[in-house]
């Protein structure tokens, strides 16, 4: 019996350790380049934090921090995904008529552009463990995504990731977009599907 209990503890420890070892964007350096508001561009290593709207830039044994107010653009090569990723500091309306620069990743750029921001969220879920009575609760942190649409007038609109709200993002050719989503079984809360439907909508606009 003691061996079974010990095994149960080891299983929980292994799960918790694996989750603790997950790395978030603010902890990882990437090769990249940055352009600041005075027009100067630099190449080096970059760590970004979209929640705090800032990046850390490392070159020549010196680390500098740039807030969104000082940035125009930065690009990184994400070795995990094997591709380049682009981010811009864009004015975003936070309250009333007040706008402030926020950092957004560009997922798809066209007449209507799809943007993304990342955030770390806390999640608590039960673990059904046969070695213990009742459910064990485990808390973990995971990376979550928020999506936005940028039009040609520079207005940025938040998207709730709900299907009903998706069609409101595409006021022209709404019926065709709805048909496309249903035919291809696309989900508005899945990033690759959101990119697909945005690309399709732009193809209708530009045809």
Domain extent at residue 202: 160-207
The pLDDT of residue 12 is above 60: no
CA-closest candidate to residue 54, choices 102, 117, 118: 102
pTM of the model: 0.82
pLDDT-based confidence at 103, cuts 50/70/90? very high
Q: 111-126 pLDDT, tens per residue?
A: 999 999 998 887 776 7
Q: Are residues 123 and 135 in the same domain?
A: yes
- Give me the number of domains the chain comprises: 2
Q: Are residues 145 and 167 in the same domain?
A: no
Which pairing describes strands 156-159 and 83-95: parallel, antiparallel, or unpaired?
Answer: unpaired
Q: Are residues 152 and 166 in the same domain?
A: no
The pLDDT of residue 139 is above 80: no
- Please report which residue ranges of the chain form alpha helices under DSSP H: 2-20, 163-168, 174-184, 191-206
**Separation of alpha carbons 136 and 44, rounded Å:** 45
Q: Are residues 155 and 165 in the same domain?
A: no
Q: Are residues 51 and 150 in the same domain?
A: yes
The conformational region for residue 191 under phi > 0 = left, psi -120 to 50 = alpha, else beta, is: alpha
């Amino acid at each position: 019996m003691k061996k079974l209990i010990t095994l149960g503890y080891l299983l929980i420890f292994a799960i918790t350790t694996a989750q603790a070892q997950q790395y978030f964007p603010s902890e990882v350096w990437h090769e990249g380049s940055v352009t600041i508001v005075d027009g100067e561009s630099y190449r080096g290593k970059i760590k970004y934090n979209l929640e705090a709207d800032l990046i850390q830039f490392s070159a020549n044994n010196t680390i500098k921090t740039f807030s969104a107010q000082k940035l125009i653009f930065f690009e990184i090569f994400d070795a995990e995904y094997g591709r380049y990723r682009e981010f811009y500091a864009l004015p975003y309306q936070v309250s009333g008529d007040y706008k402030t620069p926020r950092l957004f990743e560009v997922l798809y750029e066209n007449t209507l552009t799809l943007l993304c921001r990342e955030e770390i969220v806390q999640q608590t879920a039960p673990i059904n463990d046969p070695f213990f009575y009742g459910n064990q609760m485990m808390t973990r942190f995971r990376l979550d995504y928020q999506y936005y649409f940028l039009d040609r007038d520079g207005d940025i609109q938040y998207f709730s990731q709900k299907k009903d709200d998706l069609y409101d993002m595409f006021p022209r050719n709404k019926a065709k977009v709805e048909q496309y989503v249903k035919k291809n079984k696309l989900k508005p809360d899945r990033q690759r599907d959101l990119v697909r439907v945005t690309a399709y909508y732009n193809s209708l606009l530009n045809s």
